[in-house]
Chain A
Amino acid sequence: MAAYFDDEDLAHFGELEKHHPELWALWSKYYGKAFEEGLLTKREKILIGFAVALCEKCPYCIHSYTAQAQSIGLTMEHLAEAGHATASLRAGITMAHALVAHNIDKKTGM
C-alpha cells in the first residue's frame, strides 16, 4: 500500500473539484478571500496558516505554508517561534481542559 500522504498530492488537489464543482467553487472563493490582505498583513496570514497547519497536523499545509513563508523571507528561526507559540497554546488548552475534571471533582467530591 502506498503512503497515505505523498508530496506529489498537492499538485492534483484540484481534482477534488469534479465531485462537487459548486461547493468546491464556494470553498475556493472563501479560502482565497479569507487569505487576502486586509486588516491583517500577508505575513500575519501566512503565519496563521502555518500555525493551523501544525495544529491540524496537515503535511500538505505545513509544506505549503513553509514554502509561502520562505517566499517572503521568513526562515526556520521565524517558523520555530511560530511552532513554539502554537505548541505552548496547545499545552495550555490541554491544561485548560483539566478544568472540566476540576469542576466535576469540585461538584461531586467531598
Chain B
Amino acid sequence: MTMTLPTLASRRLPLAMASEQRATLRRLPLAREFDQRLADAGLAPMRPTRIEVMQVNVGRVCNQTCRHCHVDAGPDRREVMSRDTMQLCLDALAKSDIGTVDVTGGAPEMNPHFRWFVREVRALGRHVMDRCNLTILETPSHRDLPAFFAEHNVEVVCSLPHYLGARTDRQRGDGVYETSIRALKRLNALGYGSGVAGRRLVLVANPVGAFTISDQGLMEAEFRKALGERHGVVFDQLYCLTNMPISRYLEWLVESKNLAPYMEALANAFNPAAAAGAMCRNTVSVGWDGALYDCDFNQMLDMPVAQGAPRHVRDFDLAALTARAIETDRHCFGCTAGEGSSCGGATA
C-alpha cells in the first residue's frame, strides 16, 4: 500500500512557507553558490534570450498529492486563477508574438475556466500545451477531455515517472499507474502519440528518489520498449526532469536524510551548457493571481521577477521582461545539473 501525505499547507508545517524552504537550502554547506557558478560560466546575470513560452499556472488544486510535488498541490488547495486573470493573459498574448502557452497547475483541467481559456488561446493562433497528470482524464467530469484536446490540437504533456507500476505508485499514489495507462490508451486511440500533427503526446519522467537521470535518450528508448510491449502504448517524446529540492520533495529529502548529498550532487554536476539552455531564458511564468515569475519553481518560492520589470500580467511588457535579470537561488542547481532539466526536458 502506497500512502501519499496530505499537502504541507494542510498540515500547517513550517516547510509550507517558501521562506522556510529557501532557508533550509541556505543552511547547507555548498562549495560554490549558484551565482558564482553562473559567473564562472560567463552567464551572470542570467537574462532571457527570447520569450517564446508563457507558462500559466491556473491553480494549485489537484486530484493527486504526489510525494515530490513542487507546487504542494492537492485537493485541499483553493488557489484558482479567475477568468478575469485569464483574460489578462490573453490580452498579454495578443500584444506579443509568444507562440506557446504552457498550461500547468495543480491539475490545470480542474480550473472551471480551463476549456474556455484553451479555446481562446487557440483562437489567437497560439500553440497550447497541457501539463496533465493523466488520472484526471479518468474522472467522470473530465472523461471527455481527450476529445477536447484533439478538437483543439492541444499538445498533451503527461506525467509518468516510470514504466514500472510500483515505482510510479510509490511517488504518485496507489493505482495511479494503472489509471494513467488507461488514460494513455484513450489518448492513443485518438491518434495521440503517433507522430501526427496536432496530436503530440509527451511523457514526463522524473526520478523516484534522490538521484538524477543522466541520459534522456536512453530513458526514452526504455520507456518506448516497455510501454509498447507491456501495454501497446505509444508516445512522441519523453522528457526527463530533475526533482526540484522544494516543497514536498524537499520535505522527503529532509526526512530521508538525502538533502545534503542530493544538493551537493546537483551543485557538483553544474553544467554551463545546461545553464545556457535553461527554460527561464525563454519562458515567463504567470501565477494563479496574475503575478509574474521567471519560472514555476520561483513562483512556488515566492520569488517574483526582478524589481523594475512588470510584476503582474496586467502590466505585461514583452520588451521590459526580455531585458530583465532572472532571479536565482540554490534551487536553480536543479535545472543546471548534468544534461539539465526544464519543462521541455534536458537542455544540454
Could you tell me which A residues sit within 8 Å of B by CB distance? 41-43, 67-68, 70-73, 75, 77
Residues of chain A lying within 8 A (CB to CB) of residue B208: 75
**A59 to B: closest C-beta gap in Å:** 17
Residues of chain B lying within 8 A (CB to CB) of residue A42: 215, 218
Residues of chain A lying within 8 A (CB to CB) of residue B222: 43, 72-73
Knowing that A68-B214, A73-B205, A73-B213 are A-B contacts, what are 14 other residue pairs whose CB atoms are under 8 Å apart, sorted by A's residue number?
A70-B211, A71-B211, A71-B212, A71-B213, A72-B213, A72-B218, A72-B222, A73-B163, A73-B218, A73-B219, A73-B223, A75-B167, A77-B164, A77-B166
Q: Which of A41, A43, A67, A77 contacts B211 (CB 8 A)?
A: A67
Closest to B261 in A: A7
Could you tell me the distance between the alpha carbons of A68 and B222 in the complex, rounded to whole angstroms?
Answer: 15
Cβ B214 vs Cβ A71 within 8 A: yes
* The 10 residue pairs across chains A and B that have the minimum distance between CB atoms: A71-B214, A70-B211, A73-B219, A72-B218, A73-B222, A72-B215, A75-B167, A71-B213, A71-B211, A75-B164
Could you tell me the distance between the alpha carbons of A36 and B14 in the complex, rounded to whole angstroms?
Answer: 46
Could you tell me the distance between the alpha carbons of A77 and B167 in the complex, rounded to whole angstroms?
Answer: 10
Within 8 A of A (CB), among B122-166: 162-164, 166
Residues of chain A lying within 8 A (CB to CB) of residue B223: 73
Asked whether any CB of chain A lies closer than 8 Å to the CB of B191, the reply is no
Could you tell me the distance between the alpha carbons of A70 and B208 in the complex, rounded to whole angstroms?
Answer: 9
Could you tell me the distance between the alpha carbons of A43 and B222 in the complex, rounded to whole angstroms?
Answer: 10
**A41 to B: closest C-beta gap in Å:** 8
Could you tell me the distance between the alpha carbons of A65 and B291 in the complex, rounded to whole angstroms?
Answer: 44
Residues of chain B lying within 8 A (CB to CB) of residue A67: 211
Closest to B220 in A: A73
Could you tell me the distance between the alpha carbons of A24 and B171 in the complex, rounded to whole angstroms?
Answer: 42
Could you tell me the distance between the alpha carbons of A107 and B164 in the complex, rounded to whole angstroms?
Answer: 54
**A84 to B: closest C-beta gap in Å:** 17
